[in-house]
Chains A and B, each alone.
Chain A
Amino acid sequence: MFAGLFIIAFGLLIMWASSNLTGGRGANLGPGSFPRGLSFLLVAVGVVIIVQALTVVGPRLEAWSIRGPVFVLGAVLLFAMTIRGTTLNIPGIGRTDLLPPLGLIVAGPLTLVVASLAATERNWTQTLIFSAAMTAFCILLFKVALRLPIPVAPWAGW
């Protein structure tokens, strides 16, 4: 039921997003025809899913957990925001630095510690030692051995 509604909503979104694209006539299909065709199919499929959900008794929806998504995806976002810093573009104020570029040496342990919070078991000493060791390993592997252009400690010019 919910899944069907989701698919229909997505189909409608695509229909709206492709409405400003030329569909093309006759032999020449324009940029809009493929997405638009897909959006119709999506809505149709969504309807079928809903009908199926109403007629067939399936397993109940699983419960969503909050802890995992928050800490795991939060850790990933933190990595994205700290590796090269974050600049916000606030209307009226202009560009503001939210976070300075901190590099892998800060982003690494931060990501690892926050991610560890997603697990139910916890051992702080172990987590901290592990985070430090893992970050060191990543710096050696990615920066030193594979020479990926990833900032490690930008404030020190590395």
Chain B
Amino acid sequence: MDMVANLALGFGVAFTVKNLGLCFLGCMIGTLIGVLPGVGPIATIAMLLPITFGLDPVGALIMLAGIYYGAQYGGSTTAILVNIPGEATSIVTVLDGHQMARNGRAGAALGISAIGSFFAGSVATIVIAALAAPLTRVALLFGPAEYFSLMVMGLIFAVVLARGSVIKAVAMVLLGLTLSTVGQDLETGADRMTFGWPELSDGIDFTTIAMGMFGFAEILRNLESPETRDVLKSKIGSLLPNWEEMKQSLMPVLRGTGLGAALGILPGNGAVLGPFASYTLEKKIAKDPSRFGKGAIEGVAGPESANNAGAQTSFIPLLTLGIPPNAVMALMVGAMTIHGIVPGPQVMEKRPDLFWGMIASMWIGNLMLLIINLPMIGLWVKLLKVPYRMLFPSILMFCCIGIYSVNNNPFDVMITAFFGLVGYAFIKMGFEVAPLLLGFVLGKLMEEYLRRSILMSRGDWSVFVDFVNRPISAVLIAIAVLMLIISFLPAITKKRDTVFVE
């Protein structure tokens, strides 16, 4: 019953004119960036963080969340019509979605991806509402040692589930943690690693790292590969799938939703993993697997549902434990901190309006996306014709104005340019930058919990693995170590590669 009362409170908050407007705005922007190839949700949220300063926290988070799941919708439009994944999670949609478009079923592909996403989003919203309270209660039992171990586990998961080399991802997490120590020490106030630069004594601004490494570095990467956009010239056709297609999609949508919702909760890039898992599953259990890759509607319905469910449930670790499972959620932590909210189990107690308002807004947002996407598809297709050579200077300009406005300080803009160069160098050396951002966001908390645990244990470092007195912490560490070992086993590494290649 609690859940119903909570959701009622949430809908009360979300149904104000202002919050509805912000939700709509977020969904529009999200769809826009999902549609435009080369502009990711991470860069956009980083870009818009400063603009949310003027809003109240509830409104700001509702809008940012809308951008995130809106981008998942928009990404599929580009995948189906242009054969380019507008967003990392729609890589799989390209395979069968674009083939469907070639076969003259573009409308049906767009339709089923919207319907599947809406269904998955609605289910995921209920999952969040149902899981939030019990998980929060568990989290409140946690002491500093458990928290530290939980964060270690979260980071290891993020590393193992990241694309590319595990060891390089470990290096990125460590780099992120190190960057978080720049600035004044939490306890003694001593300047740390500032190299005598007064500009650095406040620490490195989260937005400069995020925008530099994601926004600028992404632009640099995109500029290297000349764009070829093969926008579908033929007609889109009816947006409603026919009866046969509906029947074929029903089970994939259900399975995709379940898989996506479960994987989305995992730390790491859960929302990216869901579509891959769903596609593999559908192909495996299909009566005729050879249809896949040639326009099988199951290959669109399943992954699309999975990616939206995952996008939504990835809010669970953030909202209940205060631990961001991926880079976008790390940005949400940044947004919450800017507004003076410490993410974690306390949020639900102290700010139920914010917590449930945001969850309710997700359901409303999903409904809005259905309306935004289907009738307005023509408009989005036109937008695809904006050439990248005009797009990227505009993004650059927005970024510059955004970073400048955080502290009214041009120095921040220079720091961002520096991180842009560093991010570009990382990409060239084969590093993924997302783990770095996670490490950076968790760094300060981890250090605090580590120091507190050691202080409480009177210098005994075995607190984290003490199975008798601290079983939760010990289990978390054990899982983390196990994951790490498994990821280094050659057989698994090979399998992991094929999952991501396909």
Contacts and interface: CB of A to CB of B under 8 A. Distances in A.
B338 to A, nearest CB: 15
Interface string B444-464: 000100110011011100000
A64 B454 CA distance: 45
A7 to B, nearest CB: 5
B417 interface: yes
B168 A3 contact: yes
Contact of A148 (B170, B401, B428, B429): B401
Contacts of B454: 27-29
A81 interface: yes
A29 B455 contact: yes
Interface string B55-94: 0000000000000000000000000000000000000000
Interface string A141-158: 010001111100000000
A80 B411 contact: yes
Given A29-B454, A34-B181, A52-B167, A80 B410 contact: yes
Nearest to B414: A80
Contact of A134 (B50, B167, B188, B394): B394
Contacts of B187: 31
Majority-rule SS of A interface residues: helix
Contact of A72 (B192, B220, B404): B220
Contacts of A69: 220, 420-421, 424
A76 B429 contact: no
B400 A79 contact: yes
Contact of A61 (B168, B171, B428): B428
B431 A3 contact: yes
Interface residues of A, number: 70
B177 interface: yes
B410 A83 contact: yes
Nearest to B410: A80
Contact of B170 (A39, A45, A76): A45
Contact of A6 (B387, B399, B429): B429
B168 A31 contact: no
Contacts of B414: 76-77, 80
A124 interface: no
Contacts of B288: none
A70 to B, nearest CB: 10
Given A3-B430, A31-B185, A35-B181, A149 B450 contact: no
Contacts, number: 188
A38 to B, nearest CB: 5
Interface-centre pick from A18, A77, A80 (highest chain B CB count, 10 A): A80
B102 to A, nearest CB: 28
Interface string A56-80: 0011011011011100110111011
A105 interface: no
Contact of B223 (A68, A104, A131): A68
Given A10-B175, A42-B175, A80-B414, A134 B170 contact: no
B195 A138 contact: no
Nearest to A52: B167
B219 interface: yes
A73 B167 contact: no
A18 B192 contact: yes
A120 B396 contact: no
B147 interface: no
Interface-centre pick from B387, B396, B451, B455 (highest chain A CB count, 10 A): B396
B188 A31 contact: yes
Contact of B193 (A14, A64, A118, A120): A14
28 contacts: A3-B430, A3-B431, A27-B455, A32-B192, A34-B447, A34-B451, A38-B174, A39-B178, A49-B167, A49-B168, A52-B167, A59-B430, A68-B220, A76-B413, A76-B414, A76-B416, A77-B414, A79-B404, A111-B397, A112-B396, A115-B397, A119-B223, A120-B226, A130-B393, A131-B393, A138-B398, A146-B51, A150-B405
